[in-house]
Amino acid sequence: MSAVTETIQELLAIVGQEADYRNASLTLLENGNSRYVRDLKLNFTSTLTSAHLSEKECALLALSIAVNNNNTILTNFFEKQALAKEASAEDVAEAAGCASLLALNNVFYRFRHFTGKEKYTQIPARVRMQLMSSPVTGKEFFELMSIAVSAVNGCEMCVNAHENSILALGASEERIFDAVRIASIVTSAGKVIY
């Protein structure tokens, strides 16, 4: 067995998949004996730790990104991780709800930003966002999930607004950085584990 195949199997075991599971992306990496597989595994395992976020927060952030990216394997994995780190069912639901709400906001506010027309900022949005008003995970952490999803979805206006909110709530830039780092790693892993 090649080192690449062994690393793929180790990565699959981490996320609860059978050793022989393959999809088109994993097959390409395996057939090409890609050195990247080792980096992918090391990056992925690093999503579970942070000097600035608790393990529970890391898992919930990763869950929100997996839901945002519509990745069933990673959603199931990070849900289990979050629950194992003492997240409640309500915390888990909020991570999923945040992904959905921010997808809505990211499309809407990107549109407003891209057009740059004052008229569109004057028309009421007519969308409900009650989840943001009193989140069960706390305002600061909900904003961290929000900035992570917004970064993945490419909404500059949303990223800036959430960063300002997070800093105003007293959080450090290191917490913001780690939230976005986790989002990028989960997104990366989801390109080959799906």
- The answer, yes or no, to whether residue 132 has pLDDT greater than 90, is no
Give catalytic residues, as residue numbers.
155, 158
The confidence score (pLDDT) of residue 61 equals 98
Residue type, 30: E
Q: What is the average pLDDT value for the chain, to the nearest integer?
A: 96
Helix/strand/coil percent split, the chain, to 5:
70, 0, 30
- Provide the 3-class DSSP secondary structure of residue 94: helix
Residue range 102-131: average pLDDT? 90
82-102 pLDDT tens trace? 999 999 999 999 999 999 999
- Nearest-10 Cα torsion for 104, 110, 113, 119: -40
| Tokens read off for 187 | 């997104």
- The answer, yes or no, to whether residue 166 has pLDDT greater than 90, is yes
The confidence score (pLDDT) of residue 140 equals 97
48 pLDDT tier (thresholds 50, 70, 90): confident
Domains in the chain (CATH in brackets) are 1-46 (no CATH), 52-190 (1.20.1290.10)
Alpha carbon distances (Å) from 79 to 30, 38, 58, 133, 151: 28, 24, 11, 24, 21
The confidence score (pLDDT) of residue 149 equals 98
